[in-house]
Structure 1
Amino acid sequence: MIKMSKGDNPVSLAKTASVTARMSWSSNTDYDLLAIVLRTNGEIEYVATFDAVGVPAQSSTADGAVKHLGDVGRGTQGTATETIEITLNDSIRAVVPVAYSAKSNGTGSFFRYRVTLELDNGVAGDKVVIAAENANNDDRVYSCVPGMVESTPDSVVIHALEQYSARGSENRPTLAVQRGGLLRKGAETIKVVMDGGPENEHKWP
């Protein structure tokens, strides 16, 4: 198992047919996992069990390649885990799992509830864990992006990001592709733009 923290160099894993993303937190709260899917043609899809403004809930992408395995509410089991299954195909450029805490579900910080992202590439047996260890105790920060799964022709690259929304924002993150640079002319970098996506619809307990 590889443990990653914000600022670590990306880790390359063997490219397998599928990658599983599991996000865990204390079951004393009711967070939700959603995924941002960036296609090679630049299009973006959201996989989530709840709506955003102009974006209906969908438990999988249109081609079924990225699937949410179901919402998990509050409970007494100690830890709640929601899962995204990613079947890699040539149209997928990157997938970004996001932990979200709605205003209408109450407050509670990502630090307090120990949000953790676990990624594995199945039969290859590689596992990466990214914990939200740099989160502060602000109860009004509602979105957390621990990391990103980037698909390349030869490997799956895991980036430890640990990015957070602005205080009080319920807008989803989005993704942008940046081109060029002084050191890597013509190269492309995928950037997570916090609060740049549609606003999540308020959910009620």
Structure 2
Amino acid sequence: MIILKGQKIDITKGKSIKDISIGLTWHNIDPGIDINVSAFLLNSNGICMKDEDFIFYNQQTSRQGAVVHSEKAGSDRELIRISFGKVPQDIEKIAVTVTIHEGETKGQAFAQVQDALCRIYDSGSDEEIGRFNFIEGLQKETAIVVGEMYIYKGEWKFNAVGSGFNGGLAALVKNFGLEVTEAEAQAETAAVNEVDEVTPKTPPEPSSPTQLLKVELKKKGSINIVKSEKVTATLVWETNKDLDLYCFYVTNDFEVGKIYYGNLGSPHSTPYIQLDGDALEHGTETIVIHRPKELQFVLFAAYSAISNGTGSFKSMKVRAVVDNHQGQVVSTFLHEKNDFAYWVAIAHIDFTGSNEMKVSHVEKYSRDGEERSPLLYKDGSFKMDVGPIEFKNSSDDDYLLDDDL
């Protein structure tokens, strides 16, 4: 089973699984990159409260032997094994992370890593439950929260996070509520050399910009997250339909436009937004906003090509996943069943705050059979069915645009 970013899957429900293995592997373009796997045992507030709840290569076993780390297991580069029956009662989540040792110092980042795979399987039977490519959309980051194993209504589930951090292991250690010495943080060998120099601190307030946050917005809901140096928005769907991700934008200079398959954008010129290309099949498409401070508003929308016929966006399990690369990820799922819409506006971001950006769930559909696109206006508002018609020619997949409408 392929697990997509932002997706949650059942691990123990309806199964007799007692121990789970999370194997991680990757391919280094630069053989000098030193990648390490760690795990954090977290309480209900997402805080790592005890030294022994931080698992890495210098401390490979947690309290009660619930989590064990090993550096090599078969085809896996490193392995985290979790025994559910041994997990302490005060632990509700187990975050699995990867970091590049001294990445900032050496000028190394996950852009130099390929084929990064997280594989989840039953430790007893070796039966694979799922696999997750956790590095998609990441570039300059030196730390990744791969995913979380968490308990919900007495059963364990896995959340595919795939969220990147700058600052390496030191950033993760602080994010999960632990402290490291200033010298360790600067050297980016934080919390790796001496476990006794890692001490618990008071849990951060909910508004703390370093708080790890994973939210599924309710219908028409919104949330403020940290305005970071880079924002990624990923369109995810789970059918063989060919969907297209559009990013409508308003810059600080009130320039209005859109990034889509016909204009992929660039990280080097205004509006500093780039699409990773047209998927042409089911899966994902990703927009990277390289300079959020240059923008006022963006609107993310999806279009279903004519050649695919009609069908509900909700049935395709369409969602937008917004990641600020500071450990804060917001998912916007669809709730309405609409079988005849070519367009759906999914998420809106307001960048006008000084230090925060507001992510909103919007979910608005075009009229039945209407191919006119949405339009985002200079004040941040938007309307459906008023933009140009955009469609793919069903015979040769050429892109056609009617800009006169």
Q: Give the TM bin, normalised by the shorter chain.
A: 0.7 to 0.9
Contact 1:14–1:156 (CA under 8 A) maintained in structure 2: yes
1:15, CA displacement in angstroms?
A: 1.2
Q: Secondary structure at the match of 1:26?
A: coil
In structure 1, the residue matched to 2:393 is: 203
Distance 1:106 1:2 in 2: 32
Q: Report sequence identity in percent.
A: 28
In structure 2, the residue matched to 1:52 is: none
In structure 1, the residue matched to 2:291 is: 88
Alpha-carbon distance change, 25 to 89 in structure 1, aligned in 2, over 3 angstroms = closer
In structure 2, the residue matched to 1:66 is: 273
1:81, CA displacement in angstroms?
A: 0.8
Match of 2:258 among 13, 24, 46: 46
1:72, CA displacement in angstroms?
A: 1.1
User: Structure 1, residues 86-138: CA drift from partner, whole Å, max 9, x if none?
Assistant: 0125431111111100223322210211111100101x1100011012x2141
1:83, CA displacement in angstroms?
A: 0.3
Letter in 2 for 1:87: H
Letter in 2 for 1:195: D
Q: Secondary structure at the match of 2:337?
A: coil
User: Structure 1, residues 50-94: CA drift from partner, whole Å, max 9, x if none?
Assistant: xxxxxxx2101652611000111235xxxx111000012543111
Distance 2:235 2:224 in 1: 20
In structure 1, the residue matched to 2:227 is: 15
Alpha-carbon distance change, 28 to 89 in structure 1, aligned in 2, over 3 angstroms = closer
In structure 2, the residue matched to 1:6 is: 219
More helix by share: 2
Letter in 2 for 1:101: S
Match of 1:126 among 324, 328, 332: 328
Distance 2:253 2:383 in 1: 18
Alpha-carbon distance change, 70 to 157 in structure 1, aligned in 2, over 3 angstroms = same
In structure 1, the residue matched to 2:377 is: 176
Distance 2:384 2:254 in 1: 17
Contact 1:105–1:203 (CA under 8 A) maintained in structure 2: no
Distance 1:200 1:43 in 2: 21
Provide runs of 4+ in structure 1 moved above 6 Å. Answer: none
1:6, CA displacement in angstroms?
A: 2.0
Alpha-carbon distance change, 23 to 147 in structure 1, aligned in 2, over 3 angstroms = same
Letter in 2 for 1:6: K
Gaps of 5+ in 2: 1-213, 398-405
Q: Secondary structure at the match of 2:314?
A: coil
Task: Identify which of structures 1 and 2 has the higher relative contact order when contacts are C-alpha pairs closer than 8 Å and 6+ apart.
Answer: 1
Contact 1:35–1:46 (CA under 8 A) maintained in structure 2: yes
Distance 1:47 1:137 in 2: 25
- 1:21-36 mapped onto 2 (5 Å cutoff): 21-36=233-248
Count of aligned pairs? 179
Distance 1:156 1:64 in 2: 17
Q: RMSD value over aligned CA atoms?
A: 1.8
User: Structure 1, residues 126-183: CA drift from partner, whole Å, max 9, x if none?
Assistant: 00011012x2141x201111111111222111011111111111111111245xxxxx
1:40, CA displacement in angstroms?
A: 2.5
Distance 2:245 2:393 in 1: 14
In structure 1, the residue matched to 2:365 is: 164
In structure 2, the residue matched to 1:117 is: 320
Letter in 2 for 1:162: E
Distance 1:96 1:137 in 2: 20
